[in-house]
Amino acid sequence: MQRGTEVEQPAGGPLPFNLLASLMETLDEPLLVAERTGRVLFANQRAQRLLNANGSRSANDLNLFGELLRIDPKVILGQIESGEQQVDLLVDGSGGKARARIRWLPEADWLVVHVDGAASSAAAEPAGKHTVQELLQEREITYRNLLAAYLRLQEVNRQKTVFLASAAHELKTPLAVIKGYYDLLLSGSLGKLTDKQRDILQESKESCERLVRLVSMFLNYSTLESGKLVLHLRENDLRDCLSELANRWHDAFQRKQVRLDRRFDGKLPIFKFDYQKVQQTVANLLDNALKHTPAGGNVTLSAAAHFWERRVAEAATASDRRRARAQRTNSVQVAVADTGPGIAAEHHQEIFEDFVRVDRTSSGMGLGLAIAKRLVQAHRGKIWVDSEPWRGCTFRFLLPTDNQ
């Protein structure tokens, strides 16, 4: 009941109702007191607000059993008379379920009804709010929907990888045949060519080679995505590996009027690595450098013995690490530096992700650097870029030589 409302005293003598009502108002939960017949004697302000939120009139005008609890009084009274100290019920409200605890005061023959604080808060919320249980159920449903969507995306991604591999395999053979015919025509074996014809054939051959590289990139990407990458680790000479690759790219650089320099350390060790995979990694870096270096610029391919401090045991002291560095190297560092426009620092990490192109005007699928990163990591190595805008780029990667 609201403060100041007069309270009828039941038969049996005067009781300090004002004091009792004041004590009820100090409680942090809705509370009602009713007679055995269900007539509500009084309710504190929290209970009255709860009733108002549910669209009910004053508690004194309602019957406890028929209008508030909506239950047959015999059910509650029967349990109390059988010795139950407390009867718990779930009460429907406009905002959800509320838990009501009903206790019997035998001295006054009253029923005291406590409405659970957490449940009443949910019940007192405006329409559209949910109980904790409903929120948990919704979260479970959302989780299952997200899991199902994730599994569907995984399957779509797998199908995409399979499609790329199939398409690349189908394109690989005819492109190789076309490239062979271009070489045959340009060699003059099928007749003399005019300068105009030679220029057209040479340009067509370059486009064909670009398609061959693209198909090869798709094949490599599908292999990496499917987890079927196999490294053939053998004792190889890195100098021979890089020199052979540089000779292969010499004509492409010459046609674009970009100079390709080589700087190989004379102390490069013989160590185990996958010859083809390392060539593929460096080829992707050279292709990227050539693509972004203007005519008249230069690209430098270098390799040197290197001490990779991270591969030294963590327990070693600083002096031990310096001594180890002075005694021997444990890796090689390969670098491809260009004089192109450079890359801003905020893009240094994302350029190694799949299908990322910082320069949208450039050609390519944005897979070259991503494949290079995965191949280097497969060798237990590390790759990164040093660059500033308008100062060129230097891509570096480390390959361990200690077989740890």
Helix or strand run (H / E) with residue 235: strand 234-237
Close Cβ partners of 306 (under 8 Å, ≥ 6 residues apart): 329, 330, 331, 332, 333, 398
Q: Which residue has the higher pLDDT, 207 or 398?
A: 398
Task: Give pLDDT, residue 54.
Answer: 63
Close Cβ partners of 381 (under 8 Å, ≥ 6 residues apart): 331, 397, 398, 399, 400
Q: Using only C-alpha atoms, what is the Rg of the chain?
A: 41
Percent of residues, the chain, with pLDDT higher than 70: 81
> Which CATH number does the domain 130-228 belong to among 1.10.3470, 3.30.750, 1.10.287, 2.30.30?
1.10.287
Predicted confidence (pLDDT) per residue in 344-370, tens digit = 989 999 999 888 888 777 777 788 899
Q: Which residue has the higher pLDDT, 293 or 109?
A: 293
Q: Is pLDDT at 208 greater than 60 in this prediction? A: yes
Average pLDDT over residues 273-283: 94
Task: Give pLDDT, residue 120.
Answer: 41
Going across the sheet that includes 86-93, the strands are 40-43, 31-35, 110-115, 96-105, 86-93
Give CA separation, 110 vs 20, 23, 41, 113, in Å. Answer: 14, 17, 9, 10
What residue ranges do the domains of the chain occupy? 17-129, 130-228, 233-400
Task: Give pLDDT, residue 399.
Answer: 95
Q: Is pLDDT at 96 greater than 50 in this prediction? A: yes
> Which CATH number does the domain 17-129 belong to among 2.60.40.420, 1.10.287.130, 3.40.190.10, 3.30.450.20?
3.30.450.20
Helix (H, G, I), strand (E, B) or coil at 222: helix
Q: Is pLDDT at 121 greater than 60 in this prediction? A: no
Q: Which residue type sits at 256?
A: K
Domain 233-400 has CATH 3.30.565.10: yes
Task: Give pLDDT, residue 239.
Answer: 95
Q: Which residue has the higher pLDDT, 84 or 269?
A: 269
- Write the DSSP assignment of 348-384 as a string of letters: TTGGGSTT--S-TTS-S-S-HHHHHHHHHHHTT-EEE
96 has which bridge partners?
93
Predicted confidence (pLDDT) per residue in 282-310, tens digit = 999 999 999 999 999 999 999 999 998 86
Alpha helices by DSSP H, listed for 68-194, are 73-81, 117-124, 132-186
Taking a C-beta distance cutoff of 8 angstroms, is the pair 213, 368 a contact?
no
Average pLDDT over residues 66-93: 77
How many CB atoms lie under 10 A from the CB of residue 137?
A: 12
Q: pTM of the prediction?
A: 0.56
Q: Which residue has the higher pLDDT, 313 or 389?
A: 389
Range with lowest mean pLDDT among 148-152, 222-226, 344-348, 389-393: 222-226
Percent of residues, the chain, with pLDDT higher than 90: 29
Q: Note every long-range contact of 75-80, with CB atoms under 8 Å and residues 24 or more positions apart, other chains counting.
A: 76/102, 76/111, 77/36, 80/104
